[in-house]
Amino acid sequence: MGKPTGFLEYDRVDNTTRDALERIKDYNEFHDALNKEERVKQAARCMNCGVPMCQSALKLSGMVTGCPLHNLIPEWNDEIYHDHTEFALSRLLKTSSFPEFTGRVCPALCEKACINGKDGCAVTVHDNELYLIETAFAKGLMKPVIPAVRSGRKIAVIGAGPAGLAAANELNHRGHTVTVYERDDRVGGLLMYGIPNMKLDKSVIERRRALMEEEGVIFKTGVDVGKDIKGKDIINEFDAVILCCGAKKARTLAVPDADKTEGIYPAVDFLKSTTKALLSGMDKTDYISAKNKDVVIVGGGDTGNDCVGTCIRHGCKSVTQLEMMPAPPVERSASNPWPEWPKVLKTDYGQQEAIAVFGHDPRIYETTVKELVVKKGKLTAIKTVKVKFENRQMKEVEGSEQTLKCDLLIVAAGFLGCEEYTAESFGTKLTTRNVVETEPDHYRTTIPKVFTAGDMHRGQSLVVWAITEGRAAAKEVDEYLMGYSGM
């Protein structure tokens, strides 16, 4: 422990945030790092617990609390406090493939399990992690690690999202030759095209790609495996294959004519179009624009919030976010004690910006879309209805219908597993949840040489879980190829 009394002497101080009305003028990241002196104090708040729940990934009441990567958080907090950047970095990279991603977009399961958060404020683990990796890049400590010896084994990774990148990174460092196939024009998966630039600047992904290429990873973008190239051809060419194509089959809107009406888009398509335009030049690119439109977003989760923030930056006329579930409590209930994940109300950056611009929270709870109002094939409004759940069955509340102006409807209601064609091309079986079948807690599929990881394996989840799965699958592949693994 760097300073035994640090948690008593120093209050929690988060990275600073630009004012909502200022940051909506651009698509830049809006969190600014603390200075080194203040960061040291934040690291000093870590108590070095005898049983550090922050790194436990313990399953409680059906939810995981603590870091799935089992990051050695007390160790590198101590090294940050003592200004031992290289030692801190070595402890962080031992378990974490891409701290620059998780340090920006992870909801910080570690902090929710921090003992300081039980009766006060948790340690700023998330911000400390980001400080450490960005300091390492700035100081030139993130140098290519090129294997001295190659194994002669070739591995194909299908999908360049966080799971695929993590698997490729681990296997390349082990000495195998890794080729990553990605159907989009850039690597990153949902990191690139599902998370807005203001949360994760795309130069951060390109920086990591460049580093991985220097280390020997081969990227082939614009190749849609299962369409442009057959799965059996990949199997014949490589010694092992890992399917990491995500769970990108979006849930659709269950109302009549939704598939025939102009003005309705899946959230990922909407976010992707903005990112592509931003990378190419917003004034030069045709994209799904919310400018001067009344927008309704179906879904109250993180993706819905990202859509709110993006619509505001477009210059929407209004934005409303519908959520079928009741509003969570402001504080933990007695049935949701520490260190469980706190089921409490969170007002994220998009909602904060909506409040600043329009004067009210955009979320409406216990509400869903009942009917579309369409003129000449174009959406003009929606009819909503209040709902309640009885015995896990959703029922409409009689007489609660309302009409909302809406000429852009964005569906951020989650995903229904993977898109089947890639899995089918390799002959792998899918479960009833539409993810690739494996033995429990393993990554090998029913097809020889073929493995899977990430959302394609576990279903829609967090970036930190995708990285965790990619690393674990890489170890299983290494054992399969070499008979053992030191990973």
pLDDT digits (tens, 9 = 90+) for 174-230: 999 999 999 999 999 999 999 999 999 999 999 999 999 999 999 999 999 999 999
Sheet holding 240-243, edge to edge: 218-221, 177-182, 154-158, 240-243, 450-452
Q: Which residue has the tokens 């080194």?
A: 36
Return the pLDDT at 88: 97
Q: Which residue has the tokens 């400018």?
A: 291
CATH topology classification for 264-411: FAD/NAD(P)-binding domain (3.50.50)
Which value, to the nearest 10 degrees, does the dihedral of the CA atoms of residues 309, 314, 316, 322 take? Answer: -30
Q: Distance (Å, rounded) from C-alpha 244 to C-alpha 247?
A: 9
Burial of 487: CB neighbours in 10 Å, binned 0-12, 13-18, 19+ = middle
Would you say residue 487 has pLDDT above 90?
no
pLDDT digits (tens, 9 = 90+) for 70-129: 999 999 999 999 999 999 999 999 999 999 999 999 999 999 999 999 989 999 999 999
Would you say residue 234 has pLDDT above 80?
yes
* Region for 108 from its dihedrals, namely left if φ exceeds 0, alpha if ψ lies in -120 to 50, beta otherwise: left
Q: In terms of CATH, what superfamily is 6-138?
A: Alpha-helical ferredoxin (1.10.1060.10)
Return the pLDDT at 1: 67
Q: End-to-end alpha-carbon separation of the chain, Å?
A: 28
Domain boundaries, the chain: 6-138, 154-248+416-482, 264-411
Fold match, 154-248+416-482 / 264-411: yes
Return the pLDDT at 284: 72
Q: Which of 35, 173, 165, 159 is nearest to 100 (CA)?
A: 165
> What sign results for the dihedral spanned by CA atoms 221, 226, 229, 233?
positive
Q: In terms of CATH, what superfamily is 154-248+416-482?
A: FAD/NAD(P)-binding domain (3.50.50.60)
